[in-house]
Amino acid sequence: MPEGHLLHRHAREQRAALAGRVLRASSPQGRFDAAPYDGRVLAAVGAWGKNLLYDVADAPTLHVHLGMRGLFLRYEDTTATPPRGTRLWLAGDGAAFALIAPSRCEPLTPAGRTALLASLGPDPLRDGAARREEAVHRLLAARGAVGAAVVEQGVWAGLGNAWRAELLFLAGVDPARPVARLDAEEAGAIWDLAVELLPLGRDAGQVVSDPAAPDERWVYKREACRRCGAPVRVSRVGGRTAYTCPAEQR
């Protein structure tokens, strides 16, 4: 599933290409009613965790969640034929975007938007130091394993399996460790790493857990730890595959 850094990247790209412009909106696939958005001005595009919200003049908020298979394709030729299976086609005067296979593409009422945002925890790419105390509190209040808590969107918004593996490695925390055995200093250190590294991932379009070697990972989908060479342990934490260095993570 695309993680928060990629959603923020999509938001930034589409905001630059479409915001302030009249949209041509359609659903070539026929599974979404795009009429309320067609011919109207896009005011803003924002990302909250793994969610995209589009503010369009005189229309309901448009909510997109890519889920496991969703993706955007960009076209510089706005007269191009959308690919087969396009749920939503958004075009301005200089670029067009095809949304394919999202898990959610829906209008939201004001109450629905409020409920969605209320369900999400702090987003490292939106909130940074401003909500650090809340982020620490939410993590320490979670139940179960640390590795399950940090990918729970109501705890912290935007993290997925790849960021979990790399951030917990850098913090020296085993994903299977119970949250009850995590202290505030450790929780804050994990948040600080997310605030530092996710912007690098957004800018690069990939997970960047080592600025000196942006194409490398420490433990995620590796056979051996890149730091110490120990065999990476592969297990299940919170229903997802976890990658851990038994020598580096307590």
The tens digit of pLDDT for each residue in 25-77 reads 999 999 999 999 999 999 999 999 999 999 999 999 999 999 999 999 999 99
Give the pLDDT score at 132. 97
Where does CATH 1.10.8.50 sit in the chain?
Answer: 128-244
Give the pLDDT score at 146. 98
- Of 107, 13, 14, whose CA–CA distance to 62 is shortest? 107
> What is the DSSP-derived secondary structure letter of residue 90?
E
Distance, CA of 98 to chain centre: 19
The domain 4-118: what is its CATH number?
Answer: 3.20.190.10
Instruction: Please tell me which residue in 24, 40, 132, 240 is annotated as part of the active site.
Output: 240
Q: Is 143 a catalytic residue?
A: no
Q: Tell me the pLDDT tens digit for each residue of 141-179.
A: 999 999 999 999 999 999 999 999 999 999 999 999 999
Give the pLDDT score at 250. 85
In a 3-state reduction of DSSP, which class is residue 60?
coil
Instruction: Please tell me which residue in 9, 50, 202, 217 is annotated as part of the active site.
Output: 50
Measured in degrees and rounded to the nearest 5, phi and psi for residue 236 equal: -115, 125
Q: 3.40.640.10, 3.20.20.150, 1.10.8.50, 3.40.50.1820: which CATH number matches 128-244?
A: 1.10.8.50
Q: Is 50 a catalytic residue?
A: yes
1 pLDDT tier (thresholds 50, 70, 90): confident
Dist CA 239 CA 128 (whole Å):
28
Residues contacting residue 127 through CB under 8 Å, at least 6 positions apart = 135
pTM of this structure: 0.96
Handedness of CA 127, 133, 134, 140 (dihedral sign): positive
Q: Is 113 a catalytic residue?
A: no
Dist CA 175 CA 161 (whole Å):
11
Q: Tell me the pLDDT tens digit for each residue of 191-244.
A: 999 999 999 999 999 999 999 999 999 999 999 999 999 999 999 999 999 999
Where does CATH 3.20.190.10 sit in the chain?
Answer: 4-118
Instruction: Please tell me which residue in 2, 82, 102, 124 is annotated as part of the active site.
Output: 2
Q: Is 31 a catalytic residue?
A: no
Instruction: Please tell me which residue in 3, 122, 124, 177 is annotated as part of the active site.
Output: 3
Q: Tell me the pLDDT tens digit for each residue of 106-151.
A: 999 999 999 999 999 999 999 999 999 999 999 999 999 999 999 9
Dist CA 133 CA 138 (whole Å):
9
